[in-house]
A = this chain, B = another copy of it.
Amino acid sequence: MKRTLGCCYYPEHWDEAVWADDARRMAETGLTWVRIGEFAWSRLEPAPGDLRFDWLDRAIDTLGRAGLKVVLGTPTATPPRWMIDRHPDMLAVDRDGRPRRFGSRRHYSFSHNGYLDECRRIVTLLADRYGRNPHVAAWQTDNEYGCHDTILSYSEIDRAAFQDWCAQRYQSIDALNRAWGNVFWSMEYSGFDQIDLPNLTVTEANPGHWLAFRRFASDQVGRFNRVQVDVIRARSDAPIAHNYMGRITDFDHFKVGDDLDIASWDSYPLGFLEDRVGADAAHQRAFARQGDPDFQAFHHDLYRAVGKGRWWVMEQQPGPVNWAPVNPAPLPGMVRLWSWEAFAHGAEAVCYFRWRQAPFAQEQMHSGLLRPDSEAAPALAEAAQVAQEIATAPRVAPVQAPVALIFDYDADWAWTIQPHGAGLSYFGLVFDWYRALRRAGLSVDILRPETRDFTGYRLVLVPGMMHMPDDLKTALANADAEILIGPRSAARDVEMAIPVPLPPAFPGLAVTVSRVESLRADCPLPIQGGGAVIGYREDLEGSAGAVLTLQDGSAIARRSGRVTYLGAWCDDPGHDRLVADLCARAGIETLALPEGVRVRDTANERFWFNHTAQTVDTPFGPLPPAGILRRPRA
């Protein structure tokens, strides 16, 4: 498949007189795609029922005639002001009980049926009009579900919907009381209509209550998205995508992805380094102009799984952004590197956000490929270079990796509800493992938790998966691969209770977690031979052989056959030792990469990426800052 580039464009922001020139320059740059429309509701329908699609007709026509393919966004992330008059209770309510006001975006509750009907109506109008338009080659539903903490809403509308969801799931209130353990602290309900949302309680609410609420909230996103997908599918053959975000885990992307054709995400490496990677200050300083060397790759691999193989970068950072704590400019070459890294991980397309920097409103400090005065911003040349390189590049095709890592949104919620130690998170644990794999030069496939067929993988890792269904345990136990599970894997039943027999209760693995503890950050436990346990540790009973042992003699990893249980969160050296050990057992070759250098294997090539601001040595010679090296695979 040919890899393509694109950009995000807002014809409604600009004088119609410049549209044609913009389109011409996009095409000249080598762009294929142009995403439009996703915030334009107030221009499509300035008053209820007052439809103005003519400008959009002309915009699509102008772009299409320049040879560009349009990704048409549904405008449901930005309901116009009049919508609030029609549905005053559609506004989401934050955890503190405050309604969130009109005046920015994403000001709706996923549970509001009135607003959902309005979305169905506008999407139907769009799909009716453009579903067979030859220039509309893809769709995007809404925009960035979950951005600005918008999955969890605490309004009366949400409460009623949650009660219905509970009634559906548990069927009887006694079943719910048993499932959550409501006998504790006399929290028992006598009817579903008594159930409140779990915010604003005197002390923490029941973790079973929280987990149910988070599952409900995730399901509501799927319901909301599905309405739009169903409308579009009935009217268009073009593929449908949604643009996800980095490290937003408040809904199950795999389930939303099941209804879509393409997964895409919005990749802002510098902004994310500042506000969500979670790295320490030294790391942030070292990579301030390049972004974290693994964060983008992780999401590329995650969304490749969410998209069942088909995925894009829908928004690629082209320069300084406006929203992070600090907003530096990228190192020259990084826009090219980010683009190629996405292709190496299998992206079909990379679209830059945005074509021209807007001089007004919230994102006026967000760079584009053009400056506000329409001159070229620095990224334009890098985009053009990538476009030329694509044109001459051999085929870049993804291939199954030797290593698989399961990512489970449900587990992330459980850890968030009950981290047990300050700062511990599921995402952090999985990402620590992913980083260790990448430091060893490995390409990784991320798998959804429903995976039962592990054919082709030589190593499968399942850290921190709080609830493991029995058939997953069986499938892993029977897989022809080395398996690593833990810490906290299988630590809870499906309703967040501790199972008896105690975890992990894994077939053929003689390990029982007899006690757990969290640790102060300044109290690491050294491991014999190197590395340390940080943050979290379990006592492991059982006859399985010790793999890693603390200096006090207690085993923190034990193994029976090809299944290893790790009862600890390790530091990087600890994880590196385990990766080396597991890969040696699995017959997987590893590399010793310089700091900040990463490799990624496609079907035919190995890509080397230098994420540092210094020239580094590789087996094939020096690689400059932001440099890319492509070598045929042996």
A residues near B, CB below 8 A?
Answer: 10, 12-13, 39-43, 46-47, 75, 78-82, 85, 92, 96-107, 147-148, 150, 180-190, 194, 196, 198-209, 274, 281, 284-285, 288, 319-320, 322, 325-329, 357-365, 367, 371-373, 375, 377-378, 418, 420-422, 496-502, 514-520, 522-523, 539
Contacts and interface: CB of A to CB of B under 8 A. Distances in A.
5 smallest A-B Cβ distances: which pairs? A181-B360, A184-B361, A42-B186, A359-B498, A78-B186
Contacts of A205: 103-104, 362
Contacts of A10: 184
A541 B179 CA distance: 66
Given A199-B101, A372-B500, A362 B185 contact: yes
23 contacts: A39-B184, A39-B185, A42-B187, A42-B188, A81-B190, A92-B202, A96-B98, A102-B187, A104-B205, A106-B203, A180-B360, A181-B360, A182-B361, A281-B522, A284-B520, A325-B422, A327-B517, A327-B518, A328-B520, A365-B420, A372-B500, A372-B502, A377-B515
Given A100-B200, A288-B519, 8 more contacts: A78-B185, A104-B203, A148-B202, A181-B358, A184-B360, A326-B422, A329-B515, A359-B500
A372 B516 CA distance: 13
B360 A497 contact: yes
B327 A100 contact: no
A107 B281 contact: no
Nearest to A183: B12
Q: How many monomers of this chain does the complex have?
A: 3
A421 B326 contact: yes
A431 to B, nearest CB: 20
Contacts of A520: 274, 284-285, 288, 326, 328
A83 B497 CA distance: 27
A100 B201 contact: yes
A201 B102 contact: yes
B103 A206 contact: yes
A523 B270 CA distance: 14
**Which of A106, A359, A522 has the most C-beta atoms of chain B within 10 angstroms of its own C-beta?**
A359
Contacts of A208: 360-361
Nearest to A85: B194
Contacts of A360: 180-181, 184, 208, 496-498
